Amino acid sequence: MKNLIITTTLIICILAGAGVAAENPLWMRYPSISPDGKTIVFSYKGDLFSVAADGGIASPLTIHKGYDFMPVWSPDGSHIAFASARYGNFDVFIMPSAGGKAIRLTDFSGSEYPACFTPDGQNILYSASIQDDYRNVMFPSGMLSELYSVPVEGGRPVQILSVPAEDAQLSSDGSILAFHDRKGYENSWRKHHTSSVTRDVWLYYKNDDSFVKFSDFEGEDRNPVFSDDDKEIYYLSEKSGSFNIWKNPVQSPMPYQQQLTFFEKHPVRFLSMTVLK
């Protein structure tokens, strides 16, 4: 892990695509920092590992022949949700953050990918292609997912949105949902892509069932996360040529875009945030 940015109010954990020394492991992906800022969980070679945020030896959390990735912390730091292909397709699992038994929460025949916990820690939001709303004007396709919620104790999933809402994040009171869209097929690892199907960040206001477009760059904008006071959103964008971290205020996003990192050759691929108390 490298490129850990620390300010007086928050820690942003970023993983850039820069190479490291040959003796060090590569392709450590999907880093997720704990709510207390002390631990990072990441995916490596199909298992989850845990390491102290200030460095040290990483310890395995999962050891399984199925592929495990995309870890997400619960608000109190006690559990981690993740996607695993233990039954052929990716399902959402939950396990104690200190290690232990992983429990399967979804069992659809397609694949499901966790995005976040609800602020009360009782449900997990995840993306899956299960059932389009008949009012949705988008052409139904397996590549265009819907957003669902499942209780952490297990139970029947509930559809939250029928439009593709990937990497969804909730504000602290649960009233605003930030996400990036998906308009068609485009490999998420492609660099410098500009077209009509590039991703944009959106806000969904639950109280009045309304959507607000949060970013307007013709290239890729993705992976939004809320600031501690819900007044700003941090996200990744290729506006500067390579993926870097930007932030915009929630209320007036377009005129007040601010770039926070300045990598020129290697993109910032993952973004996770926690607040220092």
Q: How confident is the model at residue 19 (pLDDT cuts 50, 70, 90)?
A: very low
Structure confidence at residue 216 (pLDDT): 85
Mean pLDDT of the chain: 89
C-alpha separations of 83 from 30, 43, 93, 152, 275 in Å:
11, 11, 6, 14, 25
Could you report the per-residue pLDDT of 176-217, keeping only the tens digit for each? 999 999 988 888 888 898 988 899 999 999 999 999 999 989
* % pLDDT > 70, the chain: 91
Domain that holds residue 143: 4-275
CATH of the domain at 54: 2.120.10.30
Angle CA 111–116–121, to nearest 5: 120
Structure confidence at residue 243 (pLDDT): 95
Where b means 16+ CB within 10 Å and e means fewer, 77-97 reads bebbbbbbbbeebbbbbbbeb
Cα–Cα nearest to 99, from 117, 80, 118: 80
CB-neighbour burial class of residue 164 (10 A; exposed 0-12, middle 13-18, buried 19+): buried
Alpha helices for 136-199 (secondary structure H): none
- Which two three-digit tokens encode residue 55? 């460095």
Q: What is the CA radius of gyration of the chain?
A: 18
CB-side neighbour CA atoms (13 Å) of 30 = 22
Q: Which of 41-45, 107-111, 207-211, 254-258 has the lowest mean pLDDT?
A: 254-258
- Range 29-52 average pLDDT: 95
> Does the pLDDT at position 237 exceed 90?
yes
Cα–Cα nearest to 106, from 122, 120, 89: 89
CA distance 200 to 218: 9
216 DSSP assignment: -
Could you report the per-residue pLDDT of 157-175, keeping only the tens digit for each? 999 999 999 999 999 999 9
User: Strands 201-205 and 176-180, how do they pair?
Assistant: antiparallel
Angle CA 109–115–120, to nearest 5: 115
**Domain count of the chain?**
1
Residue 107 CA, distance from chain mean position: 21
> Does the pLDDT at position 72 exceed 90?
yes
C-beta separation of 136 from 163 below 8 A: yes
Backbone phi, psi, residue 155, to 5°: 145, -170
DSSP-derived 3-state class of residue 52: strand
CA distance 48 to 20: 20
Backbone phi, psi, residue 254, to 5°: -65, -45
